[in-house]
Amino acid sequence: MKLPLSILFFGIFFLISSLFSNEVQTLVEFLKNNKTHFLFLLEPFDGKTPYGLKSSDSFLRDLQFVEKGPEEPSFELERDSLREIFLEKENLSLQVYSYLEIPEREKIRIVPKQKKFFPFGLPIRIFIWVYSQNYKGNLKLILNHPRYGRKIVIVGELNFYGWRRLEAKIPIFGTVSRLNLTRKEFFELEEIFLDFQKSQKSGTILVYLDRFLVLMENKELPYPGIEIEDGWKLK
């Protein structure tokens, strides 16, 4: 017996929503019970930090903030569950619009025009909302540190339609000793970039970015009278 497509779609949607709900709840409980970590809103893509778009010699290189965002209930669920971080309601996303001539040779580079530093501590995990049209490519980050240099973090594949919350570990700094971090050295988001496979067809590329969170580990354990770090923390 075949199920109607509407019922099948609802079942898949409910399953994905349930899984996301569990992920958010797990994160919230972890932060409440673990004082050595905190969640930081690195970039809401609200237009306050300007970005530049760099790609190969494409005739189409458009980057702007637009009133578009995820309409999925899971997006609002994240906001409701992490109210102390999202103090303001965001209504903008970063639109990336470009053209690929030879996809496997080209990268679309999204670079902040102002220094974009992480708060003091060690980045452990990142979360970012992305809109894609099933591209054969990846979203990646370049992080920089004055002592440990530039590192590439693979966030996730772009082979999906619509909005999706991508999540990735940052294992490259897992061996960095917390004792070696100083208050004069901060991790920096140097670049967000898209690269593509040979199977990707030439043509226009339309991607949106929204709500970039990072899970940080404190270098120092909290104690009465300790200096409070900058950034929004979930208490």
Average pLDDT, integer, range 173-186? 63
End-to-end CA distance of the chain: 50
Mean pLDDT of 187-216: 93
Q: Can you spell out the DSSP letters for 131-172?
A: EEES-SEEEEEEEEETTTEEEEEEEEE--SEEEEEEEEE-GG
Residue type (1 letter), 11? G
Rounded (5°) CA angle 40-45-51: 115
* The pLDDT of residue 121 is above 80: yes
Mean pLDDT, residues 151-165:
93
The maximal CA–CA distance of the chain, rounded, in angstroms, is 66
pTM for this prediction: 0.78
Higher pLDDT, 57 or 142: 142
Query: What is the pLDDT at residue 115?
Result: 92
Share of the chain above pLDDT 70, in %: 73
Instruction: Assign 15 a pLDDT band (cuts: 50, 70, 90).
Output: very low
User: Closest Cα to residue 121, out of 221, 212, 211?
Assistant: 221
Instruction: Find the mean pLDDT for residues 36-52.
Output: 90
Confidence of residue 16 (pLDDT cuts 50, 70, 90): very low
Question: Does domain 5-217 fall into CATH 3.40.50.720?
Answer: no
pLDDT reported for residue 77: 78
112: which 2 tokens? 């902040």
Q: Looking at residues 174-181, what average pLDDT do you find?
A: 57
Residue 18 CA: distances (Å) to CA of 1, 79, 91: 26, 16, 25
- Per-domain residue ranges of the chain: 5-217
Residue 13: is its pLDDT beyond 70? Answer: no
Q: 161 or 83: whose pLDDT is higher?
A: 161
- pLDDT at res. 209: 96
pLDDT, mean of residues 40-57: 86
Answer whether residue 230 shows pLDDT above 70.
Answer: no
- Within 8 A by CB and 6+ apart from 178, the residues are 122, 217, 219
Handedness of CA 108, 137, 159, 72 (dihedral sign): negative
Q: How far apart are CA 59 and CA 76, in angstroms?
A: 37
The predicted-structure confidence for 57-116, as pLDDT tens digits, reads as follows 666 778 999 998 888 777 877 777 777 777 666 689 999 999 888 888 888 999 999 999
**Mean pLDDT taken over the chain:** 79
